[in-house]
Chains A and B, each alone.
Chain A
Amino acid sequence: MVRFNLPVLLILVLGQFSMGGPVRGVAHAAKPGIHVRLAVAQRAARTGTVEGRVIYKTDRKRPWRYARYYVKDRRKGFLAEAVVCLKGKSLKKLARPTRSKTTVINQKNLRFVPETIAIRAGDRVKFINSDPSTHNVSSQGTLHPFDVTMPFGGSATERFNRAGGSRRPIVLGCKFHSQMQAWIYVFDHPFFTVTAADGRYRFTGVPPGTYRIEIMHSAGGLRTSRLVVVRAGQTTTIDLTVSPDNRIKQ
């Protein structure tokens, strides 16, 4: 059953009155502002939202040596740089070309910054070198083999067309600086994100259904998942906890 909350209902009702009939499409609307709001409201009514935080639960007997980079407040445990995504068969129909976006990965202080990104198939990544030394960006595996070397101030752009999803991230390294590491997750649907320092994630416009929500933290070798039911017009809040129990072999 579809349930509307009050603001959504008001927008819908006002929208119907203001335009004097059903909406045929945002692109053909005489008053795009109202139409866009109406379309958003209708979409919100037809879809659901999933949100929450990713929390790292410390086990003092099994310390995670590099947690300091990803868990700024060890008491709260909010996990940064975790990839969160939805997984489900119904998402395959969303695997259509979208306008390509470009994300920048900097090479600064002998690090890839950011270290983990998530993009949609067809998006581009621009690598720039801000260090006063030569860097190299090369990928492991067969999903998207490439190997570029760039001097200080140099840059290179790659387009990633193949989606490896949550299981096959593109692992990057620098041939000159072995400690440099980065991961690119490529998805064929829009429901993915990388957490910031507050550990939050939020997916809106999710078609109703049952999905698996997955968390991957490549640097920490952490992975877990659980089922989530998305209902139209509703927000489902799930805090996802990971611990050393969720470590995978690297």
Chain B
Amino acid sequence: MTQTQLSRRRAMETASWTMAAVAAQMALPGFVFPGEQEDDDLVPFLNMPRSTRQMLDWETLDSWITPPDQVFSVSHYGQPKFDVNKFRLEVGGLVEKPQTFTVDQLRKLPTAERLMTLECSGNGAGKGFLGAIYNGKWSGTPLAPLLKSCGIRKEATEVVFFGVDQKVETIRKVKVPVPFGRSMSVTDALNENNLLAYERVGKPIEMRNGAPLRLIVPGWYGIANVKWLTRIELRDRRYMGRFMGRDYVTVRGERRGGKVVFVETSVAKMNLKSIIARVTRRPTKSGLIPVKAYGAVWGDGTPVKQVEVQVDGGKWRTARLDKKPRSKYCWTFFSIDLGTLKPGKHTVTSRAIDVNGRVQPSARDDEIALKKTYWEAYQQWPREIELKA
């Protein structure tokens, strides 16, 4: 079976999930979680900023595929200005046949679609930055066959992806104009899921999200998905540009014996993470309030075993993971009936556990407490609510 056929089957599967999500949304306008009733009342989270456009609005999450008005964008050197008609993708460096492609030429290559939850690695670092995540369907041509067609030389170990965007950086007092760049090993770059994308959810990618061409790396944080991709370079040395070697470097303490040793790692694959999206209630009965919670869980593609929810630091209870829609690199929605709670303030927290036994840590666990940088903010996020009688 060819890569294209595989992709088509996958595309059909993903299309059916997407249609299921759309159908669910149409059946229950304004709600998406199974079990949620139209007259359930939202219990707002306390002391949170108001949601605005171009960020995910968790409390009204109503679509498995994120609507365009809730899609975030982050650019490090600003949105570049360039003539899209003259745009080219160059593939060079340690290859036998360097090549240059127009977007039209890329569109004539085998097409594929990828469903992926894309999260900024800083998402969750603070309550003002919780909505930098979205789920989308990307269309383009697979990266691996294109790289192979250029003839990867055996000494190549690293693939660097450069965007059009650039800036004069000061590095050890020397000012140099440098393009935005990110890299990965040749092995990682040849992963069959990677895509050179020119469309998102059936429409050309928006300029703010990287038009006309964006690298899509399912399971990796947003920073690896290089926008305005214009050059791919194969090298035999580690690329140590700002966004590999200085920024997007997680500095974390690790306990070794009685000592804490700090280790610096480049932000790459996504971590296991879940969050309560919203809490709803029914009218008070006999002094108690029926409460439900809904949320989402995602990671680097490692299957999720379960999500647990805790109220006020009590016993962890297993939530129900939605069976549909699902896709390997996408978030899965979950829900839980929390029974009845007394009026007053409460804290509702979720944690995810994957099939390898990895547990989403709390902010007090070493994994997070000893992390000195804000990237990879995958700690549990307690939601504070107040129930009025």
Contacts and interface: CB of A to CB of B under 8 A. Distances in A.
Judge: A and B partners, yes or no: yes
Interface of A: 60-61, 63, 65-66, 68-69, 109-111, 115, 177-181, 219, 250
B127 A110 contact: yes
B128 A179 contact: yes
**Size range of the chain B interface in the assembly:** 20 to 34
B127 A109 contact: yes
Contact of A66 (B29, B47, B48, B51): B51
B30 A177 contact: no
A86 B362 CA distance: 53
B44 A68 contact: yes
A65 B55 CA distance: 12
Contacts of B48: 109
Given A65-B51, A109-B47, A179-B55, 11 more contacts: A60-B29, A63-B60, A65-B57, A66-B50, A68-B44, A110-B49, A110-B127, A110-B128, A179-B128, A180-B49, A181-B52
A111 B59 contact: no
Nearest to B42: A68
Q: A65, A111, A115, A219 — which one has the most chain B CB atoms within 10 A of its CB?
A: A65
- Would you call the interface of chain A mostly helix, strand, loop, or mixed? loop
B29 A65 contact: no
Nearest to B52: A179
Interface in B92-128: 127-128
B11 to A, nearest CB: 30
B133 to A, nearest CB: 14
Nearest to B62: A63
A95 B59 CA distance: 44
23 contacts: A60-B29, A60-B30, A61-B29, A63-B29, A63-B62, A65-B57, A66-B50, A68-B42, A68-B44, A68-B59, A68-B60, A69-B50, A109-B49, A110-B127, A110-B128, A111-B49, A115-B50, A178-B54, A178-B55, A179-B50, A179-B131, A181-B52, A219-B50
Contact of B50 (A63, A111, A178): A111
B128 to A, nearest CB: 4
Most A-side CB within 10 Å, residue of B29, B49, B54, B127: B49
Contacts of B42: 68
Contacts of B55: 178-179
A91 to B, nearest CB: 33
Nearest to B30: A63
Given A109-B49, A110-B49, A177 B128 contact: yes
A109 B47 CA distance: 6
A179 B52 CA distance: 6
A177 B129 CA distance: 8
Nearest to B44: A68
A128 to B, nearest CB: 17
B282 to A, nearest CB: 15
B72 to A, nearest CB: 9
Interface in B1-48: 29-30, 42, 44, 47-48
B262 to A, nearest CB: 25
B277 to A, nearest CB: 13
B351 to A, nearest CB: 25
B61 to A, nearest CB: 10
Most chain A CB inside 10 Å of its own CB: which residue of B30, B44, B128: B128
A247 B55 CA distance: 20
A29 to B, nearest CB: 49
A68 B50 CA distance: 10
Contacts of B30: 60, 63
Contacts of B53: 250
A109 B60 CA distance: 20
Nearest to B67: A65
A3 B336 CA distance: 63
Contacts of B44: 68
Interface in B231-264: none
Interface in B308-340: none
Nearest to B69: A65
Contacts of B60: 63, 65, 68
Contacts of B57: 65-66
A63, A68, A115, A181: residue with the most chain B Cβ atoms closer than 10 Å: A68
Q: Which of B51, B55, B62: most chain A CB closer than 10 A?
A: B51
Nearest to A250: B53
A115 B30 CA distance: 25
Contacts of B59: 68
Contacts of B127: 109-110
A66 B131 CA distance: 14
A200 B167 CA distance: 52
Contacts of A180: 49
A7 B97 CA distance: 95
A50 to B, nearest CB: 30
Nearest to A58: B30
